[in-house]
Amino acid sequence: MSSRSLPASAVRTLTRSRRVPLSQFRSRVSFSKARRISHKASDYAATHQAWKRPSAVIIAAAATVALVYTTTQFRAVQAEAPPSDAHEIVIEKSKKRKGASKEENRDLISSQHLQVKKSWENPGVYAWGSNTGRVVATESDEAYIKTPRRLSWFDDILLRDLKIDRNFGAAVLENGDLVQWGNAYSADVKQPTATLTGKNLTSIAISKDRIIGLGKNGTVYSIPVSKADQESGHKQSDSSWIPFWNSKSSISYRKLEPRNLGVGERVIAISGGLEHVLLLTNSGRVFSAASGTEDFPSRGQLGVPGVTWLTRPEGRYDMCHELTTLKGFEITKLASGDYHSLVLDKEGRVFAFGDNSSGQLGFDFNPEAPFVDTPSLLPTTRLYQGTNQSSKVTSIAAGGSNSFFTVDATRIAGQDEDPNSIPTLGKVTADTWACGLGIRGTLGNGKWTHIQGTPTRIPSLSGLFEYDEKTQKVVPIRMSQISVGSTHASAVLKNVTYLDASERSSEDDTNWGSDVLWWGGNEFYQLGTGKRNNVPIPMYIRPLDVASEVEMGRKEEHRLHLTPMHDVRLKGSGRKVRMEQRVVCGRNVTAVYSAV
């Protein structure tokens, strides 16, 4: 109902929740309840005392003269055309349709609600970027896929993990089986094919020519990318549930086995570059190993001083090396670029090692020592020197020749400050920092820097706040996920989301998900903008399912939102699962997938 249809004595105002752009610090306008404002006739004149009536007559006469003068002058001014910058008040028409259901009207009034709904009803994979390896569009001869395109093989399929390269793709199905596709796997196979099965994989990492898979029990597998190598290589004996009965594996693979693990200690996370892989145990220890067969990692990315192909210890080329210099530090997170590595401990300290030719380790480039082969502490506290803020790194990400860090900076009292006089004492600001190669805009700071050693703040992803209606407080907006490809990156914001719209709530009650932004190299259309120019500042792209937006009659631009983790009952089977949408940036390609 519009305000024009209400009686003059009452005006109803409804304030819809909407998101403010990042440039305005993304403050959320809260829902306000419908309120009715009524204007009653004043009885002030009836209470006038008699002795005030003469003065009232005089005032009335003066007002009449003033009214005549003002009216004359007003008409004189309006004899000319109104100024060109005059803004006409336009009342927006309701987007709802008569006779439409509650859910249909929600789809009409909110693009975000429609995106959440589609992600639940039609889980799957969207991909875009370089298609020279037939990874993004398996049966298409197009060299580039400029905007998100759905991979039909993954329709209604949930994944545990997904990694893509311009030459091959690899995914872990909901049951833990590995599937592969792309020309590097086999030019003759057009659709994803199950390869390593029955190992209950939870996550994968990829190198130039191998896939590293982590089993739920902590076993780490190294599988050739090529179908031909899988078939021709040595096949191990797989144990069976039948006692004393073993069988040969259907494909060739190797196991990466860290030595001297403690009782109950197992690998819980992996991260890999083009030639190496890092392994993290539940005790906080880190191991590294060669992950490819083409080149041995010799740029310090293993974190073992002096190790090269010629100086490596006797044994397998892909044996696991413990990073003994990290003893005493409980490591919680790993990140890997092409030729460098990052680890984060539970106290928020970052250690970096490997190639530093672009400053990706967070240290200034030294031409006499282009790489660092020993884990070195990154002095992140210097980034906040003189700000009266205490900093702690909360997450790390890496890819290509770039590294990213998210930091919680807490306001503290300075030496000469009285804590009781600081209203913002204890206030937390969430910042995002980047270092490394910036010539394609991958630093996200708006500059085209060749080499960036000292981490630089990303303004669009730092110092963001919003109002949380549940806690009724202003809270910092952190990053939920940062995915980094060879030259581009994406960030999913951990903004306040809402997924509780139901049949019992009003038709104005709509769901919304997480904001996601993209920046960096775009020569292969990997940003999904439909254009080819590199972008040095994080930006939005259009929704994955543009056809659904057009069907709703939306001509204006709307941005992509990703659905966060939530319990969902699948439409087809009726099975209840806990799922979300995730982003993965690869080598000149990008994908969004439905994950469990």
Contacts of 545-553 with CB under 8 Å at 24 or more apart are 545/115, 545/118, 546/147, 548/114, 548/118, 549/111, 549/114, 552/107, 552/108, 552/111, 552/114, 553/95, 553/108
Does 239 reside within a domain? yes
Q: Average pLDDT for residues 259-267, to the nearest whole number?
A: 97
pLDDT tens per residue across span 406-419? 999 999 999 999 99
Beta bridge partners of 88: none
Q: How far is CA 512 from the centre of its chain?
A: 15
Domain count, the chain: 1
Does 212 reside within a domain? yes
* Contacts of 215 by beta carbon, 8 Å cutoff, 6+ apart: 176, 199, 200, 201, 202, 221
Rounded Cα gap, residues 503 and 382, in angstroms? 52
Does 289 reside within a domain? yes
Hey, what are 283's tokens? 């005790």
Does 280 reside within a domain? yes
Q: Average pLDDT for residues 5-20, to the nearest whole number?
A: 35
pTM for this prediction: 0.83
Does 47 reside within a domain? no
Query: Where does the pLDDT of residue 30 fall: very low under 50, low under 70, confident under 90, or very high at 90 and above?
Result: very low
Does 276 reside within a domain? yes
Number of residues written out for the chain: 596
Beta bridge partners of 468: 473
Q: Average pLDDT for residues 165-174, to the nearest whole number?
A: 99
First-residue to last-residue Cα distance in the chain: 41
pLDDT tens per residue across span 192-224? 999 999 999 999 999 999 999 999 999 999 999
Does 210 reside within a domain? yes
- Please indicate whether residue 555 or residue 396 has the higher confidence score (pLDDT): 396
Does 275 reside within a domain? yes
* Contacts of 458 by beta carbon, 8 Å cutoff, 6+ apart: 432, 433, 434, 443, 444, 445, 538
Q: Which of 468, 458, 466 is nearest to 490 (CA)?
A: 458
Rounded Cα gap, residues 595 and 576, in angstroms? 14
Domain hosting 290: range is: 198-309+318-328
Per-residue buried b or exposed e for 236-251, using 16+ beta carbons within 10 Å of the residue's own CB: eeeeeeeeeeeeebeb
- Please indicate whether residue 84 or residue 154 has the higher confidence score (pLDDT): 154
